[in-house]
A and B are shown apart, each in its own frame.
Chain A
Amino acid sequence: MPDREHAWQQLSRRRLDRRRTLQLAALAAGSGATALAGLACGSSKSSSSGSAGGAAGTPNVGARNRVATPSSAQVKTGGRISYPTPSEPPDLDPRLTLSYGLHNFVSSLHNRVVRTVQGAEAKDNNDFTLTGDLASKWEQPDPATLTFSLVPGVTFHNKPPVNGRELTAQDLKNTFEGYAKSGAHTGAFDLLDRVETPDKSTAKFVLKQPFGGMLEVLTSPTQWVFAQEIIDQQGDLKATTIGTGPFIMDAFERKVGFKASKNPNYFVKGQPYIDGFDQPFVPDGAARIAGFRSGQFDTLTGLTPSDVDPIVKSNPDTQVLEQAAIHSVFGLAMAANTPPYNDPRVRQALSMAIDRNAQLQSIFSGHATYGWGIPWIYFQDAAVTPEQCGPYWKFDPAGAKKLLTAAGKADGFKDTLTYFEYSTAMTSQVQLAQADLKKNLNVDLTIRQVDYPTWFQEYTSHKWTGTAWGFQIGSSSTLDDFTYQNIYSKSVANYWYVDDAQIDDLATKIRAETDVQKRRDLVKQLFQREHDQAWRLWMPYTNAFYLLKPHVRNFRPMALRGGGTADYGGAARVQHWVDKG
């Protein structure tokens, strides 16, 4: 039996306080990539290491990583994996929703035109290299055209009314022109003019204007190629999901869960490895944890650092993976279209008066990102440092006071802070921010906690006022979402009331730019401008923890795409396998 006595197990016997975490991170420095690569290849390395960390405000990524117990050198086939999820989709139609309750399931049943590398294909968890899915190759003859050659011999699942027929370019035309016309993806495809099909294996995407982000939009884990026959026969895709993917849906029981089994005719030979999977709907977090402890479930996610320790203590053979957040989803939003928030000095002062590091350490025990909005993978090769966020992200109450005084608000002011409690950690953050602003600036925000429909209605209808704990669209997003949809002044999804001519100009240029390096430079400028003007006060955002049973293999969480549990990484399940010895 391999020696499992390593730093993680020693650590779990003691309370994981901040000092211990930093010590472990220092111990782990320098071996993170090797450990993660070992997991990806199913190798027999056993290490608790991860990438270097430990500087103040920098998350200790990898300090809690624990590589799978030694797996077989060969992939094993057979078995099932249970991926519990808290949420159930309203129906099965991918055109109508971005909810991960649907997409983390159907992503295992469908394919995209192109995708990003996942699991063992990737060099690390933040690798966003493009690769073909249904497309074997693609060309861009001009900035407004993309031509895809389809993989030959791909067939739909052998279920009526599609009955296993071959996928053709016409399916791509039906799918993407449909997405552009109505539903949840119109924003993503607002620049798609049409899809031409010169032959059954070639699909030509013709854009309304040059759009450098089109390929990446197509990698989004929410846009699946579907068969028109289902719509023709049933009117929509709400009740039936038939794709070309590695798994076939066996059952969708309301309030119970999904079941899927292996597609014997999947076009990637040898995959998937497991016979099928279950995705039970278990809304209660304590129940999901209990289900994992008792062996009913094989995976667990949506955990905080304080959840992980007790689970590992009771189930010491648990695999623990941590994926560092590459951006924040939440932050303090200010109604920047009205006084006093339309004055950048007020926004900058509020930012400087909030101690982000205190949140990061006290609420997340260091396992969170410092707080920025645009994923760093879009403009640089390493995580953003607190210094890069600019002077207004530094906790400086005296400097904040000066700015607020210069803006004519020396005595502070009163207002409200509206939010919906997505998690108890968020409530703690809201309270800490409120306390900081009151203490440092005499900005007295009355917290107004509302329920989800009220919150969503006010927020997305642009009816909220004062301040709010706002969000940008989460893990399904693409560069275009982050740098245009969420921030362009006239965009419907600009919930933060950002209105900056320079940002608008950069957002428009980013859309049109097809050169990757030039686009990265533009994104970096947008990042800097946003922080300089303190339009959106991003706050620390938790890293993602994935807990796995020891027999689950080849699981790798990917930035923005999840890991294949209750997230957008369902497509990664094609690479998972089970090894029970």
Chain B
Amino acid sequence: MQTYILRRLLYAVPVVLLTSLLVFGLLHLVPGDVIVAKLADQGTVKPSDIVQMKHQYGLDKSLPEQYGIWVGRILRGDLGHSIYTGRSINASLRDAFPVTIELTVLAMLFGIAIGVPIGVISAAFRGSGIDYAGRVIAILGLSAPNFWVASMAITYMAIWFGWIPPLTYRSFTQDPLANLEQLVLPALVIGYGLGAVIMRMTRSTLLEVLREDYVRTARAKGIGPAAVLIRHAFKNASLPVVTILGGQLAVLLGGAIIIETIFALPGLGRLALEGLTFRDYPLVQALVMVFTIIVIGTNLLVDLSYAWLDPRIRFA
């Protein structure tokens, strides 16, 4: 197991390096300039100011040189400073990270809470009205973009109930109840989309497992349908679902950008949007690296969980 983990971590290194190269290169290829965006706030942009600021931020160096300086800083744990705000990126990430992690975890919990039961019930009552209802719910979740769902939710809740989640953020440590009140709806919106994916995967893998000989044997031995479903069939059907969760994490993080903006959450997504809008190279580069590491780490955890779910699996 340790060898497996070590090997996976070693494989992660070239992935992270390649990602860093890609994001650095692509960002500098995109038209628009952080210096001009920064100077835009001054109303006029003088060429001499652009030259001076480019020199100040090292942007007048060649791209390979800039890349090398940046990688050197990363290896020392220094993510640099945002060119647009001047703020330390480490500090910005420290503030934003907990918000996005909390939102993502809640979204995953909601996704599992929505998707697994509906998937199981749909599979158990296959072909019935309940099954069709479950499938319609899933299709809606898959087809409706989460930013649309979020906008509709926030608009109609305000009109019908005169209530929406607080739009002024409170951290969990400041005020746990207000924090949860604020995060429940956005997490539900993201979780609904994830739940739809989980539901369909759960239903289809469970239907396959329910056709296996050992399940027929268990029924023949007189084991009740609920016990057959949960104790025997579901655990085997859960492996692909766990795989889905790992893969969906990247989708959740991407979706967080829009959802955090709509619900005014000060998370990584909103930070990324600001960075992209203003071509804030150091900030965007740092965020992409953080997202990459999170996705790699989560996928490793997902792979490790297979051994717990299926004792037959051993890591070479």
> Which A residues lie at the B interface, using CB under 8 A?
84, 89-91, 96-99, 183-184, 187, 238, 253-257, 278, 280-284, 286-287, 289-291, 293-297, 314, 450-454, 456-457, 460-461, 473, 476, 485, 492-493
Do A97 and B42 have beta carbons less than 8 Å apart? Answer: yes
A476 to B43, CA, bound (A): 10
Do A254 and B92 have beta carbons less than 8 Å apart? Answer: yes
For the complex, count residues of B whose C-beta is within 8 A of A: 48
Residue of A at shortest CB range from B82? A90
| Residue B278 lies at the interface, judged by CB distance under 8 Å to chain A | yes
14 contacts between A and B (CB under 8 A): A89-B41, A96-B41, A99-B41, A184-B41, A254-B95, A255-B95, A256-B264, A289-B158, A293-B164, A294-B162, A450-B31, A451-B277, A453-B279, A457-B33
Provide the residues of chain B in CB contact with A293, threshold 8 Å: 158-159, 162, 164
Do A283 and B264 have beta carbons less than 8 Å apart? Answer: yes
Do A96 and B277 have beta carbons less than 8 Å apart? Answer: no
Provide the residues of chain B in CB contact with A476, threshold 8 Å: 43
Q: Choose from B47, B96, B163, B262 the contact partner of A286 (Cβ within 8 Å).
A: B262
> Which B residues lie at the A interface, using CB under 8 A?
31-34, 36-47, 50, 84-87, 92, 95-96, 151, 154-155, 157-159, 162-164, 166-169, 261-266, 270-271, 277-279
From residue B184, how far is it (CB to closest CB) to chain A in Å?
15
A427 to B21, CA, bound (A): 36
Provide the residues of chain B in CB contact with A291, threshold 8 Å: 158, 164, 167
A510 to B65, CA, bound (A): 50
Provide the residues of chain B in CB contact with A283, threshold 8 Å: 261, 264, 270
Q: Choose from B32, B87, B157, B162 the contact partner of A454 (Cβ within 8 Å).
A: B32
From residue B91, how far is it (CB to closest CB) to chain A in Å?
9
From residue A38, how far is it (CB to closest CB) to chain B in Å?
29
From residue B174, how far is it (CB to closest CB) to chain A in Å?
11
Provide the residues of chain A in CB contact with B154, threshold 8 Å: 286-287, 290
Do A98 and B162 have beta carbons less than 8 Å apart? Answer: no
Provide the residues of chain A in CB contact with B96, threshold 8 Å: 255
Do B164 and A296 have beta carbons less than 8 Å apart? Answer: yes
Do B168 and A280 have beta carbons less than 8 Å apart? Answer: yes
Provide the residues of chain B in CB contact with A91, threshold 8 Å: 85-87
A550 to B203, CA, bound (A): 52
Provide the residues of chain A in CB contact with B279, threshold 8 Å: 453
A294 to B157, CA, bound (A): 9
From residue A340, how far is it (CB to closest CB) to chain B in Å?
27
Do A460 and B36 have beta carbons less than 8 Å apart? Answer: yes
Provide the residues of chain B in CB contact with A296, threshold 8 Å: 164, 166-168
Give the one of A97, A183, A294, A297 with max B CB within 10 A. A294
Provide the residues of chain A in CB contact with B166, threshold 8 Å: 296
Do B40 and A460 have beta carbons less than 8 Å apart? Answer: yes
Provide the residues of chain A in CB contact with B262, threshold 8 Å: 284, 286-287
Give the one of B43, B167, B270 with max A CB within 10 A. B43
13 additional contacts (CB under 8 A) given A282-B167, A456-B40, A456-B45:
A90-B84, A183-B42, A280-B168, A283-B264, A287-B262, A287-B264, A293-B158, A294-B157, A451-B32, A456-B36, A460-B45, A461-B45, A461-B47
Do B42 and A256 have beta carbons less than 8 Å apart? Answer: no
